[in-house]
């Protein structure tokens, strides 16, 4: 088997891997990312920004803290626009959504895989490259700011926007976000991280009051933001729609001032989500620096702020601070002196290849009975490919976290697919992405002498119409006369159309029946899941192999085929728990009803911490993922350093027959009341050839051993505890104290 080694090259040169987990209020705990690259150092940028503010008139300042809404009229098709001050050399600033690619409404963009997939790669370098690659397109399109850094945690596994976040663990999410941020800003594009904070569900997203105690906030929900803010210095933090403990996030002074600006020393700007501002003086005095308006009720208009200054409810010093923060960010990132011009040429072929590479690193092999995968083309004469429009398209996530004008084919009218009707099909709600090389074609290319046949939803119907009994029978009949049956199932989700009712495959309905029927017809049935959320799999025991492909992006056809045929050895690990039943999840509540004002009553026991604390067996646990090779672990040593850090060392060996990459994970059981059994405190992704042994050393900083002590409103270092090293949160291979 020929295995593609990407991005192994960088790791191969390293003999000893040293990973530093994040931690408290020092550069020791959250050291800057390796490549933080700023056009100017902080002190110089502050001086320049300060001097510019002193030269600005009041009206110039007022225009600088309020973005005009006009999704369609923002230059370049962006989401917001701040007018510059030409006489002072301050350029215009255009911003655009960028979760999985540019959200420009008027310019073609590459659709990359969803960011939950990037988290599943557990590859920091990949996350940095992801942020960089998207930023390159943004700059060419004329955007100086990308809004793509979503990192609300997967408390609600049914949440509509899970695909554009980074999973359920704060360290994994924070580290991956820091890298992405850094990659973006290395290209002179300001990065935004969002949505700050407590915005873990779509239900009642504009009006919900998230009730989260301070310890849970600090240890879980704020931590990814803290890590990214300290390590990568994003230019902007976007406050969220919801209230947090009774006060709107965008006027919550505890959140924006006490924590973000004072405790964490954040020097950038706070921008509101679109329409998330609810007051003028309150919001400004709480720490909001810029309003993004949605055209109706607006609070930081020049007139409103001028009036607040006149009546003394906002000080001119605070207005200067708001403006200075934005100028500082523009200067530091290089946008001020080198603003993007737009109209550039994008290397779409290169971006497509990168999108494919990201997907190849993101896919998670969940089941592989008797090594059914990888497939060997030589032994297959007839291959059945079934379902999810695998002959033409892949699913992507809906809402602002999507590209709007994909280079592979427009979404509008279902992207040129022959779905027959465009009902419910479009970039926001049902975004099927047309592929240049669809999955069926990519499979055919790898198995040129096999007959590859497709069965599934007719393109003459709505793309989400239920599978009929007749279609299911046809698919089963095709499977019965084939050597292997590959079934694709899809779970659409997105922003603003609520959370999923259940983790069951529901849209189109009858997908479970389709899988069951195919599996009864052919014991060699492989299921590939396209989803942004965990999925229930009542058919898990009836099929031979399962691959989670997330929302695969425009390189998805080739990437999926490469994994199925072993040109790429899968190395992804789940960033989110896959439960057996909806009822097992911490937020199921009374018959799955949603809370309009969610109380985070499970406190620290969220994600895998919940399953561990309650002793509930998940279907596939956090951190889980198989490979076509096998890794063994040995030789754990835990050394305490005088500075409080732990050096955790061990050896991993690839004792299989093909090259592959493993993600050894370090968990810590912190002996303190209320703590869950284990928390992730570090990991590394190591690529190894067959027979190769790697020594891995992971540094666990004091913060990752600490708890938030509410009695003194600060971090408390907790000595001792048990160190676990595993291939997942439950597949613990080594243990020490």
Site string for ligand NOJ, 25-64 (x = CB under 6 A): ----------------------------------------
Q: How far is CA 394 from CA 154, 185, 211, 214, 440, in A?
A: 23, 30, 37, 41, 11
Considering only residues 326 through 365, tell me which ones interact with ligand NOJ, judged by CB under 6 A.
Answer: none
Instruction: Tell me how far, at minimum, the Cβ of 68 lies from ligand NOJ, in Å.
Output: 13
Least distance to ligand NOJ from the beta carbon of 399, Å?
7
Q: Which is nearer to ligand NOJ, 194 or 218 (CB)?
A: 194
Residue with Cβ nearer ligand NOJ (20 or 194): 194
By the rule CB under 6 A, 515 interacts with ligand NOJ? no
Which residues in 564-603 contact ligand NOJ (CB under 6 A)? none
How far, in Å, CA of 198 to CA of 195, rounded? 8
Contact status: 97 vs ligand NOJ (CB under 6 A): yes
Burial of 296 (0-12, 13-18, 19+ CB in 10 A): exposed
Are 494 and 398 a contacting pair, CB within 8 Å?
yes
- Helix residue ranges, H only, 169-250: 170-185, 214-216, 223-232
Which residues does residue 468 pair with via DSSP β-bridges, in sequence order?
Answer: none
Binding to ligand NOJ, residues 471-500 (CB under 6 A): none
Rounded to a whole number of angstroms, the minimum distance from the CB of residue 156 to ligand NOJ is: 15
CB of 194 to ligand NOJ, least distance (A): 6
C-alpha closest to that of 243 among 192, 278, 280, 290: 278
Told to check if 703 binds ligand NOJ by CB under 6 A, we report no
Residues contacting residue 397 through CB under 8 Å, at least 6 positions apart: 99, 100, 114, 161, 163, 164, 431, 493, 494, 495, 532, 551
What is the CA 611 to chain-centroid distance, rounded? 22
383 makes contact with ligand NOJ (CB under 6 A): no
CB atoms within 10 A of CB 36: 15
> Between residues 145 and 681, which has the closer beta carbon with respect to ligand NOJ?
145
- Give me the torsion for CA of 173, 179, 183, 184, rounded to 10°: 40
Q: Which of residues 265-284 bind ligand NOJ (CB under 6 A)?
A: 273-274
Coil, strand or helix at 327: helix
Q: How far is the CB of 274 from ligand NOJ (least distance, A)?
A: 4
CA–CA distance, 576 with 101 (Å, rounded to integer): 22
- Of 79 and 696, CB closest to ligand NOJ: 79
What is the C-alpha to C-alpha distance for residues 621 and 573, in angstroms, rounded to an integer? 9
In the set 123, 169, 182, 273, the catalytic residue is: 273
Three-state DSSP class for 728? coil
Residue with tokens 């199925």: 564
Please, what is the minimum distance in Å from the beta carbon of residue 663 to ligand NOJ? 29
> What residues numbered 202-231 form the site for ligand NOJ, per CB under 6 A?
none
Nearer to ligand NOJ, 79 or 407 (CB): 79
What residue is closest to ligand NOJ based on CB? 400
- What's the full length of the chain, in residues? 737
For ligand NOJ, the binding residue among 45, 90, 126, 147 (CB under 6 A) is 147
What 3 state SS string does 552-620 have? CCCCHHHHHHHHHCCCCCCCCCCCCCECCCHHHCCCCCCCCCCCCCCECCCCCCCCHHHHHHHCCCCCE
Both tokens of 196, joined, read 């700050």
Binding residues for ligand NOJ, total number by CB under 6 A: 7
Rounded to the nearest whole angstrom, what is the least distance from the CB of residue 32 to ligand NOJ in the complex? 26
Whichever of 7 and 146 has its CB closer to ligand NOJ, that residue is: 146
Q: Which is nearer to ligand NOJ, 263 or 496 (CB)?
A: 496
Rule CB under 6 A: is residue 98 a binding residue for ligand NOJ?
no
Instruction: Tell me how far, at minimum, the Cβ of 403 lies from ligand NOJ, in Å.
Output: 13
Q: Is 290 in the site for ligand NOJ (CB under 6 A)?
A: no
Nearer to ligand NOJ, 493 or 537 (CB): 493
Using the minimum distance from each CB to ligand NOJ, give the nearer residue, 208 or 508. Answer: 208
The β-bridge partners of 700 are 646
> Which residues sit opposite 272 in a β-bridge?
239
Select the residue interacting with ligand NOJ from 46, 180, 194, 678 (CB under 6 A).
Answer: 194
Of all residues in the chain, what percent are helix, strand and coil, respectively (each to 5)? 30, 20, 50
* 79, 365, 485, 517: residue in contact with ligand NOJ (rule CB under 6 A): 79
Q: How far is the CB of 97 from ligand NOJ (least distance, A)?
A: 5
> Catalytic site residue 584?
no
> Counting contacts by CB under 6 A, is residue 400 touching ligand NOJ?
yes
Contact positions toward ligand NOJ, by CB under 6 A? 79, 97, 147, 194, 273-274, 400
* Residue numbers annotated as active site: 273
């Amino acid at each position: 088997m020929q295995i593609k080694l990407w991005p192994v090259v960088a790791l191969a040169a390293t003999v000893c891997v040293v990973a530093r987990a994040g931690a408290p209020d020092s550069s020791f705990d959250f050291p800057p990312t390796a490549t933080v690259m700023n056009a100017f150092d902080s002190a110089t940028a502050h001086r320049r920004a300060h001097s510019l503010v002193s030269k600005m008139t009041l009206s110039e300042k007022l225009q600088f803290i309020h973005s005009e809404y006009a999704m369609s009229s923002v230059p370049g098709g962006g989401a917001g626009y701040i007018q510059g001050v030409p006489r002072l050399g301050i350029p215009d600033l255009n911003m655009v959504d960028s979760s999985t690619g540019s959200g420009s409404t008027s310019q073609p963009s590459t659709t990359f895989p969803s960011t939950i997939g990037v988290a599943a790669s557990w590859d920091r370098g990949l996350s940095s490259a992801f942020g960089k690659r998207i930023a390159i397109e943004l700059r060419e399109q004329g955007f100086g700011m990308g809004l793509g850094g979503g990192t609300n945690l997967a408390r609600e596994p049914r949440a509509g926007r899970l695909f554009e976040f980074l999973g359920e663990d704060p360290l994994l999410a924070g580290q991956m976000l820091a890298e992405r941020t850094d990659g973006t800003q290395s290209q002179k594009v300001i990065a935004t991280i969002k949505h700050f904070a407590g915005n873990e569900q779509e239900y009642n997203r504009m009006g919900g009051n998230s009730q989260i105690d301070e310890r849970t906030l600090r240890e879980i929900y704020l931590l990814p933001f803290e890590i990214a803010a300290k390590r990568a210095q994003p230019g902007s933090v976007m406050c969220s729609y919801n209230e947090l403990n009774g006060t709107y996030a965008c006027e919550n002074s505890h959140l924006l001032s006490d924590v973000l600006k004072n405790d964490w020393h954040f020097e950038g700007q706070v921008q509101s989500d679109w329409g998330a501002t609810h007051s003028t003086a309150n919001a400004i005095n709480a720490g909001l620096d810029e309003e993004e308006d949605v055209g109706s009720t607006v609070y930081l208009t020049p007139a409103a702020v001028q009036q607040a200054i006149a009546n003394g409810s906002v000080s001119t010093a605070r207005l200067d601070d708001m403006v200075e923060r934005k100028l500082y960010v523009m200067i530091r990132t290089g946008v001020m002196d080198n603003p993007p011009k737009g109209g550039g040429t994008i290397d779409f072929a290169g971006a497509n290849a990168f999108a494919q590479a990201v997907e190849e690193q993101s896919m998670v092999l969940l089941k592989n009975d008797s090594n059914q995968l990888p497939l060997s083309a030589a032994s297959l004469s007839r291959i059945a490919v079934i379902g999810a429009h695998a002959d033409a398209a892949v699913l992507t996530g809906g809402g602002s976290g999507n590209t709007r004008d994909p280079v592979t084919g427009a979404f509008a009218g279902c992207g040129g697919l022959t779905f027959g009707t465009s009902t419910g099909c479009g970039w926001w709600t049902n975004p099927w992405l047309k592929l240049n090389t669809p999955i069926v074609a990519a499979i055919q290319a790898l198995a040129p002498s096999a007959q590859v046949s497709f069965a599934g939803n007719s393109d003459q119907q709505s793309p989400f119409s239920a599978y009929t009994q007749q279609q299911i029978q046809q698919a089963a009949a095709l499977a019965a006369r084939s050597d292997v049956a590959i079934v694709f199932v899809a779970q659409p989700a997105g922003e603003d159309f609520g959370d999923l009712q259940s983790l069951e495959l529901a849209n189109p309905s009858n997908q479970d029946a389709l899988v069951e029927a195919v599996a009864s017809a052919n014991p060699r049935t492989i299921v590939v899941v396209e989803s942004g959320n965990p999925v229930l799999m009542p058919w898990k025991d009836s099929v031979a192999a399962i691959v989670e492909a997330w929302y695969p992006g425009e390189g998805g056809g080739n990437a999926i085929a490469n994994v199925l045929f072993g040109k790429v050895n899968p190395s992804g690990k789940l960033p989110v728990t896959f439960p057996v039943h909806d009822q097992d999840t911490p937020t199921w509540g009374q018959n799955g009803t949603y809370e309009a004002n969610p109380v985070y009553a499970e406190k620290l026991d969220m994600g895998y911490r919940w399953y561990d604390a309650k002793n509930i067996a998940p279907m596939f646990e956090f951190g889980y993922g198989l490979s076509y090779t096998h890794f063994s672990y040995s030789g754990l040593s835990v050394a305490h350093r005088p500075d409080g850090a732990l050096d955790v060392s061990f050896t991993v060996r690839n004792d299989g027959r093909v090259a592959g990459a493993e993600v050894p994970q370090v968990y810590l059981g912190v002996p303190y009341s209320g703590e869950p059994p284990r928390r992730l405190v570090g990991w590394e992704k190591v690529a190894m050839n067959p027979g190769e042994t790697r020594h891995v050393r992971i540094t666990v900083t004091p913060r990752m051993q600490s708890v938030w002590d509410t009695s003194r409103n600060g971090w408390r270092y907790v000595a001792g505890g048990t160190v676990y090293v595993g291939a997942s949160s439950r597949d613990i291979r080594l243990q020490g104290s």
